[in-house]
Structure 1
Amino acid sequence: MHRIAVLALPGVVPFELGIAARIFGRALTSDDEPLYDVITCSVDGAPVQTSDDYSITVQHDASVLATVDTVVIPPSHMLQEIVDADGLIADAVLRALKEVRPGTRLLAICTGAFVLAAAGLLDGRPVATHWAEAELLQELFPAVRVDPVVLFIDDGDILTSAGVAAGIDLCLHVIRRDHGSAVANSVARLCVVPPRRDGGQAQYVLRPIPPAQDGGTAATRAWAAEQVGRPLSLTQMAEHARMSVRTFTRRFRAETGVSPATWLTMQRLDYARQLLEETDLTVDQVADRAGLGTGTTLRLQLRENHGVSPTAYRRAFRN
């Protein structure tokens, strides 16, 4: 069983603190056995004051970090006590991170990236964080390659995300990477969250969202997601939403950060990946069923977005 430790630092945000246990804790085998064991620790094992008006009690100190496979760093609203104005990390936190074994996977949610950056673990790496903190992160740590727009970044053994819901997206992505789309989608259904938002999708950065009474594109997105296997035009999507093409395109981009065409391709590619994982259909059959047309198109899209061929992707997940 893959073991995960969540490091609760002073001022930890309760919602993000609970994401790992909630999401990874719902990942089960076909026999309903847990795939992950999630524990929570603090630097010294003592209770931790959260960002709200209560503290939490943990069962472990930082020594447990030497025994796990993945470490999660949630954000803190007392970040200035962990990383000072010069980008220097508190000695106690640095000692705690030194417990982590080489090769352990690291996940930072929101401003958790500041902690890893201050420990010198993000130099030269692409990093995501909350858009409102991206400029400060780049200023404090110029060697870090901050992307202020994306929801999350998978850089192999270190993964970082924007805030709140993006932390859920990141954990679902990790489950998908570890165990495939079927397990990740099952977790998403149990937790009543979208099964997948691509890491490259834009954060909602100071973009006005249309008022609910004026309608939105969510219902049309849900409808379109069920139609990925057949031709679907922008005009048809706009008609379903009862909007002009121009209004639909503008609102769609405001709500998702991408164009309708890009979003639809992402849904089709996601479905194609699921078919590659779960069926023995040929590449051409998968492409046709996912609405991508030909195997050539699927190969191009999969290589462009994930850097692998359909055959290599299938082999990796089947193994």
Structure 2
Amino acid sequence: MERLEDLVGRRVALRHRLGSGLLTDAVGELTVDGASLVVQTRRGPVRVARPDVVAARAIPPAVPRRPSWAAVAHLENLCADAWPARVDEPLGAWRLRAAGGFTGRANSALAVGDPGTPVPAALEAVRTFADGHGVPPRVHVPVGSPWDRAVAAAGWVLDAGHEAGAEVAVLVADLDRLAAHHPAVALAERPDDAWWALALGREPTPDERWVLDPGSHAAPDRTVRTVFGLVRGAGAIRAAVVGDHLHLSRLAVRPEDRRAGTGTALTAAAAAWGREQGARWAVLQVALHNTVARAFYDALGAAEHHRYRYLVPGNR
């Protein structure tokens, strides 16, 4: 048996005795908590006293499991609720969205589920809706999904010219880990001028205000609860709770204040607030080309859940 101290932090198969004297195995990352060993299994932590260990060996990392398309669709709809378009009309399970061109998320058809009509007809409806609201026809679709394949088969192609990034990673993280040891950060239910100055660099347009500040137009009993974090003169963040998820967005830190913990403090404060609101997980959307943001969230323990991309008509 390898020395237990050499296996800490690695994925292991640990055989140990139960109270009845029977033997069982625990598989997962090995950690230490005082005098006990803890194996972080898929079903939760298993605590083992050192004298009960019979054998332990390192094993290869687990093959990541792809989430079901139903889980992907659920998370995509949560994110859409957290980032409300000014116009959001159903097309079967699809959502036709427009917000004056502010962000691809709020100005595209979210294609998850059954549109209730053949896909070519659904895409024609997307075109008609987009023309009627003065935005380009665009579909937001999870990469590799049945809906992605169906839209691509109809001749729609990657929106390669999309300035903010045509391919996006959807990340999830445990709120307890994000919220650990957060310093005091000002949180408010509505953004003030200082928040807008950091998040946008100017006063918002009506469409930007609609998307980012649901409190400016929604009823007080709305199901989406929003908060705005601010470190004055340094950084800002937006967070929204939908169901058991906290949607993080619009993290902005002035260049001269980066690498000083401002982004981490803002994220942690938002996570602590989300946990108080009953959320368990954080979710955020980061363009694949934004390697700085992806590295930042990776360091905080966020993991990729799935990706989506924007598709546009191939003949335009």
Length-normalised TM-score, structure 1: 0.27
Q: Which has the higher contact order (CA 8 A, sep 6+)?
A: 2
Q: Which structure's CA Rg is the greater one?
A: 2
Name the one with the larger helix percent.
1
Name the one with the larger strand percent.
2
Length-normalised TM-score, structure 2: 0.27
